Amino acid sequence: MKPQKILVTGASVAGPALAYWLSRQGMHVTVVERAPAFRDGGQTIDVRGAGRVVVQRMGLEELIRANTTHEQGITFVDRHNRTKAFIGVNDFDGEGPIAELEILRGELAKLLIQHSEDRVTYRFGDSIETLHDDGQQVHVRFAQGAEQVFDLVIVAEGIGSTTRNHVFGSEVQRRPLDVYTAYFTLPREPSDGQIMRWYNIPGGRCVCLRPDNLGTTRAFLSFQQAPNGYEKLAPDAQKSLLKQRFADAGWETPRVLAGLDDTTDLYLEAVGQVKMPRWSKGRIALVGDAAYCASPISGMGTSLGLCGAYVLAGELGRHADHTQAFAAYETLMRPYVAQAQGVPKFAPRLASPHSRVAIALGHAVLRLATAPVFKKLLGKFLSPKADAIDLPDYALKRQFK
């Protein structure tokens, strides 16, 4: 079979990982990314379970380890910054709420791109304008005017993927989890050590501060509400909304809200999941959040993206017929995705209770989490089952140094 010419859309985590593995299968890969240049930064994500196996097979584990945020655990604090419960990074063998390998999204994406750019073409500042699958090839017109033909197109965009929506239309189903989360970067303060601090506020709200390895602090604000279009507001309107919602919060929240004025990386999302009856249509397929976003609440997004990329590329290398490859990819990944998406609708209320009594009860339970008698039981809720897939060992068509 001749090497296939494949277009991947999206250069975050799943896209570059897929491009790497496709190139190892001897395929010619182009990755197109709407952002004008590589997007650095982003919030902290973890590499755990089967996702960790994938990066080990890529030879990237030690590079990732060298670029982690070096978080030592998570502490739950009250408005006076007193610790009410603490879970260390090693309390669940490095697979608990804070994993052993915690890294900024941008840092991981950069490593993946650097690991593949010598054999993958990256095109920043462009996107798909139109695409037409004629059954033999996919004809793509880019926003910058170029027209090209590809054997396959793989969509590795985010939860709101425009390309996916265009191709699959009404098949795209979003499951809201009725919570909004805002992410942004703050100047680092002496109180920001190497431990993530989680502060609950009555009314189903929380403020969290996390260390990074770049000399700044990553903040997120979360509040419970059904989707209401806030994610579509202009940045200034989003900042005003957050200031209003958290005006009475206490703790270090005034500092966090003041930081909104100067931040340039605010991202507000309506947290939810993507449910798709199929992940391919003709010569076009989906991978990562565009196909099966499980939400940040699951703790599985990175593992799903990395494993999905590995399996999809491996099956395309294993099968001469792309329809058989796409079917095998779904067969392998569906159970893993279903398990990861098994987040109950009430999960945000458990993480951010609505009353002071419920917050105190939550802290009491968390204090017991690492006690031997409770560790196994509570570990089911605090340690995502990220290894629930048996990854094939695919034969590679080309070998690279």
pLDDT in tens, the chain (401 residues): 567 999 999 999 999 999 999 999 999 999 999 988 887 778 999 999 999 999 999 999 999 999 999 999 999 999 999 999 999 998 888 888 889 999 999 999 999 999 999 999 999 999 999 999 999 999 999 999 999 999 999 999 999 999 999 999 999 999 999 999 999 999 999 999 999 999 999 999 999 999 999 999 999 999 999 999 999 999 999 999 999 999 999 999 999 999 999 999 999 999 999 999 999 999 999 999 999 999 988 889 999 999 999 999 999 999 999 999 999 999 999 999 999 999 888 888 888 999 999 999 999 999 988 887 777 767 666 777 888 899 999 987 654 43
Domain around 58: 5-70+103-174+272-340
Of 35, 42, 39, give the one whose Cα is nearest residue 123: 35
Q: What is the DSSP letter of 171?
A: G
Q: Is the residue at 375 inside a domain? A: no
Please say whether the dihedral angle defined by the alpha carbons of residues 27, 333, 116 and 16, taken in this order, is positive or negative: positive
Q: Is the residue at 83 inside a domain? A: no
Instruction: Tally the domains of the chain.
Output: 1
Bridge partners (DSSP) of residue 5 are 28
Contact in structure between 246 and 221 (CB atoms under 8 Å): yes
What is each CA distance from 187 to 64, 191, 225, 249, 265, in whole angstroms?
Answer: 24, 11, 29, 20, 13
Bridge partners (DSSP) of residue 139 are 132, 149
The span from the CA of 198 to the CA of 181, in Å, is 14
Residues 6+ positions from 13 with CB-CB distance below 8 Å: 45, 105, 108, 109, 112, 288, 302, 305, 306
* ∠ Cα 219 75 351 (to 5°): 75
Q: Is the residue at 261 inside a domain? A: no
The span from the CA of 31 to the CA of 122, in Å, is 5
Q: What is the tally of helices (H) and strands (E) in the chain?
A: 13, 18
Amino acid identity of 51?
G
What is each CA distance from 323 to 59, 153, 281, 338, 339, in whole angstroms?
Answer: 30, 13, 9, 22, 25
Q: Is the residue at 131 inside a domain? A: yes
Q: Is the residue at 51 inside a domain? A: yes
Phi, psi of 387 (to 5 degrees): -105, 15
The predicted structure's pLDDT at residue 380: 67
Q: Is the residue at 114 inside a domain? A: yes
Q: Nearest 10 degrees: CA dihedral of 91, 95, 101, 104?
A: -110
Residues 6+ positions from 323 with CB-CB distance below 8 Å: 280
Count of C-beta atoms within a 10 Å radius of residue 380 = 9
Tell me the CA end-to-end span of the chain in Å, nearest whole number: 24
* ∠ Cα 383 388 394 (to 5°): 135
What is each CA distance from 48 to 299, 377, 387, in whole angstroms?
Answer: 9, 20, 8
pTM: 0.93
Of 27, 35, 386, give the one whose Cα is nearest residue 12: 35
Count of C-beta atoms within a 10 Å radius of residue 23 = 23
38: phi > 0 → left, psi -120 to 50 → alpha, else beta; which? Answer: beta
* ∠ Cα 163 138 313 (to 5°): 75
How far is residue 400 CA from its own chain's centroid? 28
* ∠ Cα 120 122 127 (to 5°): 135
Tokens representing 106 are 């941008």
CATH code of the domain in which 328 resides: 3.50.50.60
Tokens representing 306 are 């990395």
Q: Is the residue at 298 inside a domain? A: yes
Where do we find the tokens 């030690």? 62
Of 353, 313, 363, 358, give the one whose Cα is nearest residue 333: 313
Q: Is the residue at 184 inside a domain? A: no
The residue length of the chain stands at 401
